[in-house]
Amino acid sequence: MNKVRIGLIGCGTVGAGVIKILKNQSVLFKKKFNTEFSIVKICDLNPHIAQKLKINKHLFTKKSDDVLNDTSIDVVIELIGGIHPAKEIILKALKAKKHVITANKAVIAKHGTELFKEAIKQKRNIYFESSVSAGVPVINAINEGLSGNTFNGLYGIINGTSNFILSEMTQSQCTFKEALANAQKKGYAESNPTLDINGMDAAHKLAILVRLSINKTIALSNIHVEGITHISHEDIENAKELGLIIKPLAIAKKINKSVELRVHPTLIDKDHPLASVNGVFNAIFLQTDPLGDILLYGQGAGQMAAASGVISDLINLSTKGKNVSRIRMKNISFEDKSIRIQKIGEVETHFYIRFMAIDKPGVLSKITGILGKHGISIESVNQKIRKKSSAVPVIVLTHKAKEKKLRLALEEITKLSVVKSKPVAIRMESLL
C-alpha cells in the first residue's frame, strides 16, 4: 500500500471539502490506486475548525512551520490564497523536500517561474489544477491530454461571478446592481467583488493558461483587462436582435510568433457552445492543431468543485513515478522566448459601438465620417427610435479594425456636441 502523508495549510471552505473527500472516498482510493492518504497536520487560524469538522484537535496548529518542519509529511496542500505568505510557504515546503498542491491562482500567475525553478532544483512537484477552473480539468488536459497539439486560440469563461451577473441580466432582465446583489446572496460573489467584476481574477487565470498552452510567461500588465460594469440592458437587447450574446471572455490568440491577450465582455454568436454557458459555470474553448476545436465545461466554483481539483492533483502526484513527475515540472517551466506579446493597440477585431446622439439631420454622416477618416470600415448602422427624448441610440457594427485607430476615432466623436454620452464599444469574436 502506497502511503501519502499530508500537511494542509488553510482549512476554509475548500480545505474542509478536501477533508470530506479524503474521508468519504478512502476505500475507493485504496482499491483503485492502492494508496492511503492521511492528514498529519492541519494549520488554520480558526481554533474552532477541529470541532466543526469532527477531527482530532491534536492535528491542528496555528503555525505553518509546524507543518513545514514535520519530516514525515510528503505533500503540503496550500489553500490560504493571496500572494503573501502563500509564496513563502510554498518555497519553504519545496526547500523542505515536500511536494506542493495549491489552488492559488494569484501566486502561480505572479510567481510561477520562481516557484517552478525551485521545484526543479529540489526535485519536487507543484500541482495547481484548481487555480483556474476548480475541478474542470483544463490544466491536466493541456499538460497531458492535448500535449501533442499546438494551441492557436483560447477563449475562456473563467470567472463564475461575472458570468452569473451577465447571465442574470440577460435571462431575468434585472439591473447590474440587482444581479450582483443576487450573486452575493447566493455566495457566488464576495462582499468586495472588485477582482471578479473588473476582470483581474480572469486575468490571473489567463496568465496561467497561456504559460501552459503557449509556453510564455505573462506579466499581468501585459494583459488588457476590462470589467463588465459598463454593460447595460440596452446592449444586451441589441445583441439579441443581432443574434449575439455578451459573455465575459479571457482571450489568448496566437498569430505567427505573437500573441494577443485580453479580458473583456465579448459579443459572440448565440449558436456557439460558449453562448450557452450560464451562471457560475466555466468553459474554455481551445483551438488546437491537429485535434481542432475542443470545449472543456463544468462548475468553476464552489467547495466540492475546487476540492475535487485538489484531490485530482493529489492522486496524480501519488500515482506517477518520480521520473514522470520531474519531467512534468520541466515541461511546465519551458518557455518559448521567441513569442512576442502584442500591445492592445495592435489588435484587430470587429466592434459593436453604441452612441447616444441628438436626433437631427447630418448626425450619422458626422459620426461615420470620423470613423472613415480613421480607417474604420462600417458593416452596418442602425438608428433606434426613441420617443420623448432628444438623444437616440445609434448602433454601428464595424469590419475588422485596429484598436488604436478605433480609440482615436471614438475620442474625436465624443467631443461632438451632438453626442451626449461616452460611446460604448464592445469587441466581437467570430468563433463559428
Query: Residue 178: helix, strand or coil by DSSP?
Result: helix
Do residues 5 and 71 lie in contact, with contact meaning Cβ atoms separated by under 8 Å?
A: no
Count the neighbouring beta carbons within 10 Å of the beta carbon of residue 66.
Answer: 15
C-alpha cell recorded at residue 139: 490544466
User: 231-270 burial, b if ≥16 CB within 10 A, otherwise e?
Assistant: beeebbebbeebebbbbbbbbbbbeeeebbbbbbbbbbbe
Alpha-carbon span 365 to 363, nearest angstrom: 5
Kindly report the number of other CB atoms within 10 A of residue 178's CB atom: 14
Distance in angstroms (rounded) separating the CA atoms of residues 426 and 33: 49
Give 314's Cβ-side CA count (13 Å radius): 33
Q: What is the CA radius of gyration of the chain?
A: 24
Which position has the grid cell 520562481?
114
Residue 381 is inside which H or E element, if any? strand 378-383
Name, in order, each residue with C-beta under 8 angstroms of 60's C-beta and a sequence gap of 6 or more.
41, 42, 43, 44, 47, 49, 50
Annotated catalytic, 205?
A: yes
Half-sphere exposure for 183 (CA within 13 Å, toward CB): 30
Grid cell for residue 2 = 502506497
Distances (CA, A) of 9 to 39, 41, 54, 76: 11, 8, 17, 7
Options 92, 98, 105, 205, the catalytic residue: 205
C-alpha grid cell, residue 75: 505533500
Which class for 71: exposed (0-12), middle (13-18), buried (19 or more C-beta within 10 A)?
exposed
Cα 267 to Cα 385: distance, rounded to the nearest angstrom: 23
Rounded Cα distance, 83 and 11, in Å: 17
Any idea which residues carry the catalytic annotation?
205
